């Protein structure tokens, strides 16, 4: 990059000024991770928009790390965010208004430029694929009071969910909590995120047993009810919560976020009518969302890169909720009469990703296994008698 272009990016990009952060602290933004050195004071050249910032302090030797603290930001061109390290609480806090103004001006005068690491723009498209439905309204709707997301504040969530956790989820619980105890942040009054409650079982008065069974076998009616009551009819708001919870889990190591992501994925993959009749475009967008989530999380060369565990075979095993739901969902493409071309294409890609990266085996589905690049947008699977 030539100096002129770099200077323009510095001036018009977003800057995070993080002062007095201890050496060896792991600090990330989006899909990028930095290990704090003695001269590190933040990150520059960040594109405007939604981002997720997260960090984990360590012992002096850099061998043990505290639980991750993360927060979403929504920033405009040339904006500067200032945070200072609080030694007692071992976390980033806001500076006073007077200090903030002084530091912002210093950043704009390029006084800290040598101490700021550049945002790697080659990874920006990857981040957009993970966050394109997260808007300011999604962020404000879901984030906790104070904005900080951390597993340290989720003991109640973990306990209340323990009865329903599978062995795989218990392993995840241990993975996120074991070995991350170099320090312990104060819980104070911080609470969890304001996720949408997703019923595991549909209960309705005045409905026959047969109808109730049908409602629980096909989550289409539940999806429609939630869209209308909780999301104001906005499909993108729902997809934004799928992305928000995944990022909070994967990068923020939030167990609460994992359970919400699991609930939302279970809702989508538990629908049998909506993908083909009422919400085809929504399901096309959802499959694309979860495809990019797992494609990023399952990159083998990233596992073990830091203390932040990415998705791996240990919790995406063949006995996981996702494997069972995917088998049922993929089978619908064998039974359905008409499948939208875009939905079929993205479902095929999603299925191949799981087979290639996790070694999962699914029964061949005629629609999914078909591979005709000249196929029309709507494909006829079979004729009904």
Residues 78-92: tens digit of each pLDDT:
999 999 999 888 899
**CB burial class (10 A; 0-12, 13-18, 19+) of residue 2?**
exposed
Residue 33: φ, ψ to 5°? -125, 140
21 CA to centre of own chain: 26
pLDDT at 334: 76
Percent with pLDDT over 90 in the chain: 53
In this structure, what token pair is assigned to residue 382? 């079979």
Higher pLDDT, 85 or 324: 85
Higher pLDDT, 375 or 232: 232
pTM: 0.84
Segment 31-37 mean pLDDT: 91
Segment 308-328 mean pLDDT: 67
In the numeric block, the tokens 């070995």 are attached to: 179
Percent with pLDDT over 70 in the chain: 71
- First-to-final CA distance of the chain: 64
Does position 204 have pLDDT exceeding 70, yes or no? no
Strand 49-56 versus strand 42-46 pairing type: unpaired
> pLDDT per residue over 249-299, tens digit each?
999 988 899 999 999 999 999 999 999 999 999 999 999 999 999 999 887
3-state secondary structure the chain: CCHHHHHHHHHHCEEEEEECCCCCCEEEECCEEEECCCCCCEEEEECCEEEEEEEECECCCCCCECCCEEEEEEECCCCEEEEEEECCCCEEEECCHHHHHHHHHHHHCCCCHHHCEECCHHHHHHHHHHHCCCCHHHHHHHCCCCCCECHHHCHHHHHHHHHHCCHHHHHHHHHHHCCCCCCCCCCCCCCCCCCCCCCCCCCCCCCCHHHHHHHHHCCHHHHHHHHHHCCCCCHHHHHHHHHHHHHHHHCCCCHHHHHHHHHHHHHHHCCCCCCCCCCHHHHHHHHHHHHHHHHHHCCHHHCCCCCCCCCCCCCCCCCCHHHHHHHHHHHHHHHCCEEEHHHHHHHHHHHHHHHHHHCCCCCCCHHHHCCCCCCCCEEECCCCC
> pLDDT per residue over 164-200, tens digit each?
555 555 655 655 555 444 444 444 455 789 999 998 7
In this structure, what token pair is assigned to residue 8? 């323009």
> pLDDT per residue over 114-171, tens digit each?
999 999 999 999 999 999 999 999 999 999 998 999 877 666 555 455 555 555 556 5
Contact 82, 100 (CB under 8 A): yes
pLDDT band at 31 (very low <50, low <70, confident <90, very high): very high
Higher pLDDT, 324 or 334: 324
pLDDT at 359: 80
Contact 330, 354 (CB under 8 A): no
- How far apart CA 355 and CA 374 sit, in angstroms, is 24
pLDDT at 191: 72
Highest mean pLDDT among 2-6, 329-333, 344-348: 344-348
> pLDDT per residue over 212-231, tens digit each?
555 557 899 999 999 999 99
pLDDT band at 315 (very low <50, low <70, confident <90, very high): low
Does position 206 have pLDDT exceeding 90, yes or no? no
Average confidence score pLDDT of the chain: 80
Segment 18-35 mean pLDDT: 92
pLDDT at 58: 80
Contact 263, 198 (CB under 8 A): yes
pLDDT band at 337 (very low <50, low <70, confident <90, very high): low
pLDDT at 237: 97
> Beta-carbon neighbour count of residue 78 at 10 Å?
15
């Amino acid at each position: 990059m030539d100096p002129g272009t770099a200077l323009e990016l510095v001036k018009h990009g977003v800057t995070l000024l993080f002062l007095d952060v201890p050496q060896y602290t792991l600090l990330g933004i989006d899909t990028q991770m930095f290990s704090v050195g003695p001269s590190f004071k933040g990150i520059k050249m960040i594109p405007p928009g939604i981002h997720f910032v997260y960090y984990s302090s360590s012992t002096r030797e850099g061998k043990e790390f505290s639980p991750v603290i993360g927060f979403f930001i929504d920033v405009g061109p040339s904006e500067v965010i200032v945070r200072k390290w609080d030694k007692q609480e071992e976390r980033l806090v806001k500076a006073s208004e007077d200090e903030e103004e002084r530091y912002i001006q210093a950043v704009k005068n390029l006084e800290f430029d040598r101490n700021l690491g550049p945002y790697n723009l080659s990874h920006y498209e990857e981040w957009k694929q993970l966050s394109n439905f997260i808007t300011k309204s999604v962020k404000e709707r879901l984030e906790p009071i104070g904005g900080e997301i951390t597993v340290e504040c989720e003991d109640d969530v973990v306990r209340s969910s323990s009865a329903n956790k599978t062995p795989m989820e218990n392993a995840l619980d241990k993975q996120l909590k074991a070995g991350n105890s170099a320090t312990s942040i104060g819980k104070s009054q911080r609470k969890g995120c304001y996720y949408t409650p997703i019923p595991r079982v549909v209960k309705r008065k005045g409905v026959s047993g047969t109808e109730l069974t049908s409602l629980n076998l096909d989550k289409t009616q539940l999806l429609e009810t939630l869209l209308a009551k909780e999301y104001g009819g906005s499909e993108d708001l729902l997809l934004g919560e799928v992305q928000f919870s995944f990022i909070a889990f994967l990068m923020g190591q939030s167990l609460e976020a994992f359970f919400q992501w699991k609930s939302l994925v279970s809702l989508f993959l538990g629908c049998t009518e909506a993908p083909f009749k009422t919400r085809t475009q929504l399901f096309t967008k959802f499959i694309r969302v979860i495809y990019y989530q797992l494609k990023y999380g399952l990159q083998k060369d990233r596992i073990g890169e830091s203390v932040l565990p990415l998705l791996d075979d240990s919790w995406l095993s063949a006995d996981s909720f996702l494997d069972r739901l995917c088998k049922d969902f993929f089978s619908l493409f064998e039974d359905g009469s008409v499948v939208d071309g875009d939905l079929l294409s993205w479902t095929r890609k999603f299925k191949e990703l799981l087979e290639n990266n996790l070694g999962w085996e699914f029964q061949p589905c005629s629609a999914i296994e078909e591979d005709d690049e000249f196929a029309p947008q709507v494909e006829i699977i079979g004729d009904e008698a």
